[in-house]
Amino acid sequence: MDQCFDEVGWPIGKGGWPLESLKNLMLALKKIPGSENLGNGRLCELAKIIEMVSSDGYEKELPRNKTATPDKTEGEIIKLHDLCEKLADHIKGLHQPAVSALINEGLSVISLMEDLRRAQEIAEYACGGDEASNGPTGRPEKIEATEVTKITAKIYSDISGKRPTFTTDPETSEVSGSWPIVLKLVFDALHIDASVSSQVRAQSKKSRAN
C-alpha cells in the first residue's frame, strides 16, 4: 500500500496520525549532502528500509535468539520448572469464589493447571539436554546498532556519492562531520542506545577491509 503524507509532506498512518519514527528518520536523511535532490516519497522509502533493518537487528538481540552456556541454559529451565510448579500449586489452592470469578472471565483454571503440570514435567526432562551452546561471553554485541550503521552508511554513500567519512578530535577522540551527525539522528529516531563514535569507527574499518 502506498504511503500517505500530510500537507507538509510527512508520513501519516491510519486515521491521519503522524508516524514520528519515519518522520525523524526522514529528517536524519535530509542531513545527507545531495538529499535535496530526493522527494519525500523516496526519503520515506529509505527510512522504511532503515526501520526494517532496525527491527530485524532488535529481534536478533533478544535472549531467545542468542546462545548460552550449558549452566545458564539449565538454570533457566530449572527456574521455569519451579515457577510452573508454584503457579500450579497456587491454582490448586484457590477457593471456590476465586475459581468461579476466573471462569466467569473466560479462564479455565483447571486446564491452565494441567498445562502448567505438563510444562513442569517437560522442563524436568529438558534439564541436562544437549541443546545448550558455548556461546560468546563478555559484552553483548550491538547487533541492531551495527546493522543500522551499515545500511545507513550505504544510503549515505548512495545519496551523497561519497564514502562516509569523519574527523576525530585528537584530544577528546570524539568524531565529527556530516556522517556521524546523520547516524546520531538515526539512532535517536530509533531509540538505539549505542556509541556513534564506536559505530562509525567500526564501519570505517570494515569498509577499508573490503
C-alpha cell at 183: 547516524
C-alpha cell at 189: 529516531
Q: What is the mean pLDDT of the chain?
A: 85
Report the pLDDT value the prediction gives residue 132, as an integer from 0 to 100: 43
Confirm if 124 and 174 have CB atoms less than 8 A apart. Answer: no
Residue of 193, 206, 207 whose CA lies nearest to 57: 193
Report the pLDDT value the prediction gives residue 53, as an integer from 0 to 100: 93
Radius of gyration of the chain (CA): 25
Percent of the chain with pLDDT over 90: 60
Instruction: Report how far residue 184's alpha carbon sits from residue 151's, in angstroms, rounded to the nearest whole number.
Output: 14
Looking at the predicted structure, is the pLDDT value of residue 105 above 50? yes
Q: pLDDT of 155-172, one tens digit each?
A: 999 999 999 999 998 888
Report the pLDDT value the prediction gives residue 133, as an integer from 0 to 100: 47
Report the pLDDT value the prediction gives residue 1, as an integer from 0 to 100: 43
3-state secondary structure of 168: strand
Average pLDDT for 83-91: 96
Average pLDDT for 193-201: 93
